Chain A
Amino acid sequence: MYLELLKLSSPEGILTLTVLCVLALGLASRGSRLPAFVAIIGIAASAVAIMLLPKTASLFNGMLVVNRLNSLVKLVCLVLSAFAIFLAQEERQNASVTSQLGEYVAMILLATLGLLLLVGSEELLMIFIGLELTGLSLYILTAFNSTDLRSPEAGLKYFLFGSTASAFTLFGLSLIYGMCGSTSLAGMVEGLSGAFQPLLAVGIVMTLVGFGFKIAAAPFHLWAPDVYEAAPVSTAALIASASKVASFVVVAKLLLLGFGPIIGSAGWHAAAGGWSPVVAAIAALSILLGNFVALVQTNVRRLLAYSAVGHAGYSLLGIVAGTPEGFSATLFYATVYAITILGAFAVVGWVRRETGGDNISHFSALSRRFPLLSVYMTIFMLSLAGLPPLVGFFGKFYLFSAALDAGQNNGLLWLVGVALFGSFISLYYYLVIIKAMFVDEPRALPAAEVAASATSAGVKLDHSGERWVIGFLAAAVLILGILPDTLLARIANALT
């Protein structure tokens, strides 16, 4: 039994060992890039271990479940974290990250470990433990930049919001346990077969608060702008990518597997009690609020944070649909969104290093200094806006058609309409960034910044590695857009 556990949890085990190694290395060699290198090797080993796992297995009543879906999502999370670590070791302007790279990378790995636990479990307690492990690591990562006062502030804010949300989730889970008498998702389905009760509704809504917080859906998104703006770039990228994907998968599993019988209906004329009207309301609110507030942002990271709220709303559409198609669409969209936003944050990190800031004005005339980088950023922005031939377009097509397909008489038409309206609005603020890069004149640099950029220019650093990584992500966005079947077939295969 324990041998079996050791074998099935080998990816997590490898990752834990890597954390210890990285911490030790970080203490031994301050300021070197070695910890990041070791961490990426550890992640690669963990990924290999995932591929060697059996097709299906389940331990301890669903505490550790191995199936194709979980393995796929785990792989996605590992790849995204590896990119975040890569970004971390390129964050040269951030002294606290550079000097304490070992600790920093170890925290990223711990967050990733939490994600693996979160994804690999179909049991409420383990899900909660995974959620907390990820959350606590991310709070620390957010506050990591001790040279900028806003970073600890954002960390504290994130922590306070996060712990409150966790308390709600835990309370909700305990209510659900009381109603169903089981903490495993499979057991819950049996316990729920009766009628829909008010207490259960309270439990579900409370659980959703915690997950809504994780995916930054309105009205639980208030932490996102501050965290995205003030956290180290690599942390913001991790929060926006890997943590998002894992949370979406867990929400979907929880709602579709655990609460499957009480889905209700969010159809316009056919609304019925259940969780889907609640999720539909959260989705609609996120789409409208996120996109409208993003319109007035001047800081690119805050803009991306509000647009992330909108994208969380789109992704929820597939879950509201409640069909396997919808689940697959949500997973696809969350994954490609993660790839895109990772690339966007990488570019923001680059611009921040070169110009000393990340307001839209810092992107002015970027195309003259870094033509290729501007092209990559344009690809990311247009993909987020949902323009072909980039993958964001296909993701939206798949998601919206899955949502419209669900239920009788196109009941979710209203929600699809809201989502399309939101994506129409979003084009404006993405275009503003593109306009800054290609059309605007270079801004006049204040003297202090000229000096700052002069010193950074003095230290000739080789960033060609970063350039290649961003190029790779942009190529992925383009190629997945032209040939979405490469990813789609895998997801569809994992879900059957």
Chain B
Amino acid sequence: MIAWTIYITFAAAILVIAAPARFARWTALSATAADLLISLIAFFRPAADPAHYTTLVRVPWIPTLGMNYQLAVDGVSLTMVLVTSLTAVSAVLFSWEVQERRNEFFFWLLLVVAGSFGVFLSADLFLFFVFYELVIVPKYFLIAIWGSTNKEYGAMKLTLYSFFGGALVFLGIIAAYVAAGSLDFNELARFGFDPHLQMWAFPVLFLGFAILAGAWPFHTWAPTGHVAAPTAGSMLLAGIVMKLGAYGGLRVAMNLFPEGFHVWSKWIAVVAVIGIVYAAAVALRQRDLKFVIGYSSVSHMGFVLLGLAAANVLGVSGAVLQMFSHGVIGALLFALVGMIYHRTHTRDLDSLAGMNLRRMLPFTTFAFVLAAAASMGIPGFSGFAAEVTILIGAWKTFPVAVWITGAGMVLVAAFTLRILRRAFFSDQIATSPEAAVAYSPITFAEKAGATLLLVTTLAAGLYPKLLLDRIMPAIETMRFIQPNG
């Protein structure tokens, strides 16, 4: 049934472009709401067996070359589908006021969402890659047409980075296909690849995925892309697209080439730790609110990589939990920044300082404080649960990395508190009267979207077992897990 998320979203995309523009947002909302409902039902269905990679559909597609249209689901896919639909619903809600070329906008937005569902559910390497590459072009249009600051540059940079990563993934996939003669994930995950092949194919494949996941030093597309993107675009980028890379690294690279992974895992950890600390340090120096959030995304994705590199059940499960958590928190933060920018037309921290936002936009301030707390990793929010799980997992494998990451977390707290104080709780009260103009009120759609994400991060933070119960059994059966770790 969960496969319907893909079909509904694609159908809605076609409907949106074919129907008059005034139906576009309602179509998009009902499709994504249906996706959310389906993924929630699938997630909470008691009969589901999260440990088993259950095949949903298997139809011969290109029999001459052995490609199948094959979808499968386990606990990890379920979690990713859930965060995708959550982000999608709120992204649609936050795009409610988009006026320009509205049906095209929702068409591209739905295409990104549908392609992402496809990536998280496909169990055939070729199908996986088709969906994976399908997401690239819609992002370009979303940013280049509806974006803001430096949009054409940001869009092109992001697209070329994605496509470059895609080319590396392509090479790795072909290498696996040629060696194993199969494209089925289940068969590939049992196939014993030649260690020599794994040694070069794993880094190529993983690097390709890591570029999309925003790994240092290939992260630079992320901040510029986020800044250039429209609000919904940033939400999709942070909430979904970066997760595609991390998910690919886990599902494909690590499962196919476990020996290559064990050789290279320490380098992944090094890159992850540098990313966490470096991005947090850079965020501390930014003046544009969206740049800060963009770099914080890179920093948080570093945690995902660190968890994956730990190569044990706790670390990797924590990484998946962090994908979920950052998907929600990242999307929320970008949504709130968009909310502010929509009204003040600036994201410059110094300008915002004089605008007395805590009086003018009380709801935004309230939500931003909560989101910032979640982002910093305050207990009770999902970020804390995820990061602690990752650090415990990583402690067993890379204790030094955990120490350095601890310092990085201080930096994360520092830059988060800095933007909170500068943007919302500054002492400079605006003296100029025109700064006191009443902003257009926060719409119901915006409130609903923000509340949805806030409730999710709180729920996942207060009761992470709900997610971990589905993630951990799935991770335990993956073959790269070292039995002793």
Chain A interface residues toward B at CB < 8 A: 382, 387-389, 393-394, 397-398, 400-401, 404-405, 410, 413, 416-417, 420-421, 423-424, 427-428, 431, 435, 438-439, 484-485, 488-489, 492
Contact = CB atoms under 8 A, between A and B. Distances in A.
A294 to B, nearest CB: 15
B105 to A, nearest CB: 12
Nearest to A402: B178
Interface string B121-139: 0000010011101101100
Contact of B174 (A387, A416, A484, A485): A416
A431 B174 contact: no
B440 interface: no
B134 A416 contact: no
B137 A387 contact: yes
A410 B167 CA distance: 17
Nearest to A439: B144
A438 B129 CA distance: 26
A416 B144 contact: no
B133 A400 contact: no
Nearest to A491: B64
B140 interface: yes
Contacts, number: 74
Given A416-B174, A488-B62, A492-B64, A438 B167 contact: no
A410 B175 contact: yes
Contacts of A427: 159-160, 163
Interface of B: 61-65, 126, 129-131, 133-134, 136-137, 140-141, 144-145, 152, 156, 159-160, 163-164, 167-168, 170-171, 174-175, 177-178, 197
11 contacts: A397-B170, A400-B171, A420-B168, A420-B170, A421-B167, A424-B160, A424-B167, A427-B163, A431-B156, A439-B144, A485-B63
* For the complex of A and B, 7 pairs with smallest distance between CB atoms: A388-B130, A420-B167, A405-B178, A424-B167, A401-B174, A439-B144, A404-B178
A484 B62 contact: yes
A410 B176 CA distance: 11
A394 B129 CA distance: 11
A414 B61 CA distance: 30
Contact of B134 (A389, A421, A435): A389
A492 B159 CA distance: 35
Contacts of B178: 401, 404-405, 410
Given A388-B129, A410-B197, A428-B156, 5 more contacts: A393-B133, A427-B160, A427-B163, A435-B156, A438-B145
A389 B130 contact: yes
Nearest to B162: A427
A322 to B, nearest CB: 15
B133 A485 contact: no
A485 B68 CA distance: 12
A400 B174 contact: yes
Contacts of B129: 388
A401 B167 contact: no
A428 B64 CA distance: 32
A388 B137 CA distance: 10
Contact of A397 (B64, B126, B134, B197): B126
A318 B62 CA distance: 19
B152 A439 contact: yes
Contacts of B164: 424
A489 B130 CA distance: 20
Given A397-B174, A420-B171, A388 B141 contact: no
B64 A489 contact: yes
